[in-house]
Amino acid sequence: MVNEENWEPKIVAFLCHWCSYAGADLAGVSRIQYPPNIRVIRVPCSGAVNPLYILKALREGADGVLVSGCHPGDCHYLSGNYFARRKFFLLKELLRFLGIEEERVQFSWVSASEGQRFSQVVQEVVESVKRIGPSRKNIKEFVFHV
Amino acid sequence: MYEEELHRLSVKLLDEVEYIIGYTSGTLPFRSRPFLCRKKEEVELLTFDHFSGSNLTRYLLSKDLREKKVAILAKGCDARTITVLLREGQIKRENVVVVGLPCYGMVSLRKLEKHFGSLRPQDFTWHLDTFTFQGKTQSIGPFLENTCQRCLYPNPPLFDYLVGSRVEYVPRERWKEDSLKRLEEISSEKRWEFFAQEFQRCIRCYACRNACPLCYCKECFAEAQRPYWLSPAATRSENLFFHAGRALHMAGRCVECGACERACPLEIPIALLPLKVEELVREHFTFEAGVSPDREPPLLTYRENDPNEFIK
Amino acid sequence: MRGLTMRVKMISQEQFRKRLAEKENHLAITEKAQDVHRQFLPPGIKVVKTPKEILFPSWKEMYRFFFKERSWEIQEVEEKAFSDPTFLLLLPCEARAVVEVLDTNFLREDYRDTDYARRRARLNLVILGCPAQHPTCFCHLVGGSPVWRDGKSAFVLPWKEQFYVENDEVLFGEGDPVNTQEKREIESWEKALQEKLPPPLSPDFPEKLYAHFEDPEWQDIAFRCINCGACTFLCPTCYCFDLTVDGKLRGSMLRTWDSCMFPKFTLHASSHNPRPTGKERVRQRVMHKFSYFPIREKRYGCVGCGICREICPVNWDIKEAVERMVKRIDSRCDIN
């Protein structure tokens, strides 16, 4: 099903509209190159990211998930990312406890002016997921390709 | 345990409440089952023993009992549940009379069977934290349910009446058996092997979810069609999704009663996931569900120095 | 059913164990059968909780669909090579569940479920008779017995120091013939066993129970049930299933076990639910097995195996429920 030689990971990226999405946009207009493996989903705030979204993305076949928001203290909604931080911590530790590779779900704080940094983060994430190979533990058993 | 005192109290309580939700002996050996006591003549049927593990507080939420004044028997963990339910606005304090039961732990029938083979009730005599089998008295410690072995609240933190005498020790310190810690000490790959096997076995009967008094959503995320999270198929990855999702929904709410694990017909140690989340909440957010009713639940608050190193 | 056409033989306990160990890869045994006959069995036989795991698995992809270039395409799901065991050792109650309930449902005159038919054809039942009644069982109540067999499948009964075997050609190999004296002894033992059993439910119980649909006793009976579904999933006779579409533009149609205990089981698209509370659902479960199904199919939908009673998290007891309704019916009370 998956051709091991030229396998490219599929990363789903939840980016908060006010900071990380804008940062990604800045990377784009600045013509900064970064790996095309990410599929961006824009959310209003990292605090709006339900941990179930991350599990769902993995279930549908994402090899990795990145969630990125504003730096603590800079949230457009004041405290959304603080709540997010707690939720993500629990999710990450729970997945680690279950034996899921840590690289599958990653988080970052990227501000609207950090275009270069965003591309670096994506680079790191894609490389780390490439290293651990395609997702096998979370993907639903009846997935198929046409 | 404490049955005489319990009966005397129950007769008096029936003057002020409509029902008493308690335990009675089951229809099969070594079983204790939830019991709704309505009349003073039925009070004699109330029992409390080492198999009375069900968390009765889930019946407080049933349509018929919700608006009535009821008394409920609550062990340490059950009393914690009541605090959480009060906090979440699911029950009214004036409708509930809490009869606290200090608890030495619930014995796991499965562990007993594993050790002794086929069991006959007449071979066992039960004391508070020991039992006698064929003349030999031994500690119940090794035979307690996994959650009871690591219990921190044997005495109910909330009660209107207390039956029996307080437990003088903390079970986690006394028995030094922690199924969660044992798993944390092995490698990640071995943990995955273990969980992969257990999730493969799960048949998604939802006994764990329904036995849990804090899983009271009218529509569970696992059965929702809009949005559609996962299918009903009981495959390894779907089951992982369900149990991880449920554990996260219990974050800061799970009272570690073990009703989920006891309910599982396939003996899957499913409590490990919400227990792990509760340990994380305890350690990093210094919060325990159902113990301090005035504190904000952990996911409704934050601190500047919350764990941050895992974020790039 | 005894006749000159039925092959019977006696085999030693050692041969029993040895042949099972040899055919291990083709065998499975139900957990209940393993509990009862543990001392005779070799270790290492695959254990299933119910015959349904082989005949009617908990999930199945019916077909796949995807949207391609402006039209929908349906794709068959390739049948994986049949790796399930071909012999299933089970107790008479569980065998009765397969032969009298599951077969009745899935192999109808007007419709045969192809997947079930294929699996059923490949599965040989080996019925292990119970030497006595297990504490959780009540097969007698629903017309069963610890030595029930269908006359076609292999039947094995521990007898003195050996095993009495009927209808087996392939599994246990050659045995000793059963002489007339032994045959008579076995028959009279079975007859005595039958007579010792308490009587079954009266033949008109299904209709009488039907008349007690509105009995307020149901409210009491339903109290402790937590509506989880463990009983239905482990019940050897329960056969309800659900069809789910998984995916939007690309996905599968999944058939999964469903449970009448789930609140959404009878949720209509209009959002009306004829079984809104636990009382209606619990009542339905008992009525289906002891009234609706027997009235329609002339056999009970419950085989008295007692698995539901053993695993119920709150010890809700179907035998107790039935006995309570028997009392209500017998007392001829006015239910209005």
Which of the 8 DSSP states describes residue C243? Answer: E
**Residue C151: predicted pLDDT:** 87
Sequence-distant (6+) residues with CB within 8 A of B92 are none
Residue C85 has pLDDT above 90, yes or no: no
**Residue A37: predicted pLDDT:** 95
Among candidates B248, B211, B214, which has minimal Cα distance to B229?
B248
Share above pLDDT 70 across residues of chain C, in percent, rounded to a whole number: 96
User: Strands (DSSP E) along A44-114, which ranges?
Assistant: 64-69, 105-109
Q: Indicate the pLDDT class of residue C1, thresholds 50, 70 and 90.
A: very low
Domain count, chain B: 1
- B215 in a domain, yes or no? yes
Q: What's at C2, amino acid-wise?
A: R
Structural domain containing residue B193: 3-300
Which tokens belong to A66?
A: 């990145």
Residue A5 has pLDDT above 80, yes or no: no
Residue A10 has pLDDT above 60, yes or no: yes
Report CB contact under 8 Å: B203, C233.
yes
Phi-psi region of B258 (alpha: psi -120 to 50; beta: other; left: phi over 0): left
Q: Tell me the CA distances in angstroms from C62 to B9, C75, C111, one per residue in order.
A: 58, 10, 17
Residues of chain B under the 50 pLDDT cut: none
* CB-CB neighbors (< 8 A) of C246 in chain B: 228, 231, 233
- B104 in a domain, yes or no? yes
Q: Indicate the pLDDT class of residue A145, thresholds 50, 70 and 90.
A: confident
Tell me the per-residue pLDDT of C201-246, one tens digit each, with 9 for 90 and over. 999 999 999 999 999 999 999 999 999 999 999 999 999 999 999 9
Distance between CA atoms of B183 and C78, rounded to whole angstroms? Answer: 39
Report CB contact under 8 Å: B312, A106.
yes
Share above pLDDT 90 across residues of chain A, in percent, rounded to a whole number: 92
Residue A136 has pLDDT above 90, yes or no: yes
Tell me the per-residue pLDDT of C146-204, one tens digit each, with 9 for 90 and over. 999 998 899 999 998 899 999 988 888 888 888 889 899 999 999 998 888 889 999 99
Q: What's at C310, amino acid-wise?
A: E
CB atoms within 10 A of CB B132: 13
Distance between CA atoms of B122 and B110, rounded to whole angstroms? Answer: 18
Residues in chain C: 336
Do residues B254 and B277 make contact, with C-beta atoms less than 8 angstroms apart?
A: yes
Report CB contact under 8 Å: B211, C313.
yes
**Residue C206: predicted pLDDT:** 95
Do residues B248 and A105 make contact, with C-beta atoms less than 8 angstroms apart?
A: no
Q: Tell me the CA distances in angstroms from C49 to B139, B269, C46, one per residue in order.
A: 32, 17, 10
**Residue C170: predicted pLDDT:** 86
Domain coordinates in residue numbering, chain C? 8-196, 205-330
CB atoms within 10 A of CB A141: 13
Tell me the per-residue pLDDT of B184-216, one tens digit each, with 9 for 90 and over. 999 999 999 999 999 999 999 999 999 999 999
**Residue B293: predicted pLDDT:** 84
Q: Does B224 touch chain C (CB under 8 A)?
A: no
Residue A2 has pLDDT above 60, yes or no: no
Q: Indicate the pLDDT class of residue C5, thresholds 50, 70 and 90.
A: low
Higher pLDDT, B90 or C335: B90
Sequence-distant (6+) residues with CB within 8 A of B46 are B3, B6, B7, B10, B20, B22, B23, B24, B35, B37, B73
- Across chain C, what does the average pLDDT equal? 90
Question: What is the average pLDDT across C297-308?
Answer: 94
Distance between CA atoms of B116 and B132, rounded to whole angstroms? Answer: 13
C109 by DSSP, 3-state: which?
Answer: coil
Give me the helices (H) in A12-79, please: 20-29, 51-60
Sequence-distant (6+) residues with CB within 8 A of B198 are B268, B269, B270
Do residues B262 and B233 make contact, with C-beta atoms less than 8 angstroms apart?
A: no
Under 8 Å CB pairs connecting chains A and B tally to 114
Residue C335 has pLDDT above 70, yes or no: no
Report CB contact under 8 Å: C68, A146.
yes
Among candidates B312, C115, B227, C182, which has minimal Cα distance to A13?
B312
Tell me the per-residue pLDDT of C305-334, one tens digit each, with 9 for 90 and over. 999 999 999 999 999 999 999 999 988 655
CATH class of the domain at A11-132: alpha beta
Q: What's at C266, amino acid-wise?
A: T
Tell me the per-residue pLDDT of A83-132, one tens digit each, with 9 for 90 and over. 999 999 999 999 999 999 999 999 999 999 999 999 999 999 999 999 99
Report CB contact under 8 Å: B248, A93.
no
Decide the pairing of beta strands C124-128 and C154-159.
parallel
Helices B236-249/B272-285 angle, 10° precision = 40
Q: What radius of gyration do chain A's Cα atoms show?
A: 15
Do residues A28 and A38 make contact, with C-beta atoms less than 8 angstroms apart?
A: no
Q: Which chains touch B (3 or more CB pairs under 8 A)?
A: A, C
Report CB contact under 8 Å: B27, C234.
no
* CB-CB neighbors (< 8 A) of B202 in chain C: none
Higher pLDDT, B18 or C131: B18
Distance between CA atoms of A51 and A139, rounded to whole angstroms? Answer: 16
- B308 in a domain, yes or no? no
* CB-CB neighbors (< 8 A) of B236 in chain A: 141
Distance between CA atoms of C235 and C233, rounded to whole angstroms? Answer: 6
Q: Does C223 touch chain B (CB under 8 A)?
A: yes
Residue C22 has pLDDT above 60, yes or no: yes
Do residues A64 and A103 make contact, with C-beta atoms less than 8 angstroms apart?
A: yes
Q: Does B183 touch chain A (CB under 8 A)?
A: yes
The position carrying tokens 């995320």 is: B221
Report CB contact under 8 Å: B232, C254.
yes
**Residue A146: predicted pLDDT:** 78
**Residue C169: predicted pLDDT:** 84
Q: Which chains touch C (3 or more CB pairs under 8 A)?
A: A, B
Q: How far from chain centre, in Å, is Cα C246? A: 29
Residues in chain B: 312
Do residues C27 and C183 make contact, with C-beta atoms less than 8 angstroms apart?
A: no
- Report the predicted TM-score, pTM, of the whole model to 2 decimal places: 0.94
Q: What's at B147, amino acid-wise?
A: T
Residue C336 has pLDDT above 80, yes or no: no
**Residue C334: predicted pLDDT:** 54
Helices A80-98/B272-285 angle, 10° precision = 130
C166 by DSSP, 3-state: which?
Answer: strand
Residue A76 has pLDDT above 50, yes or no: yes
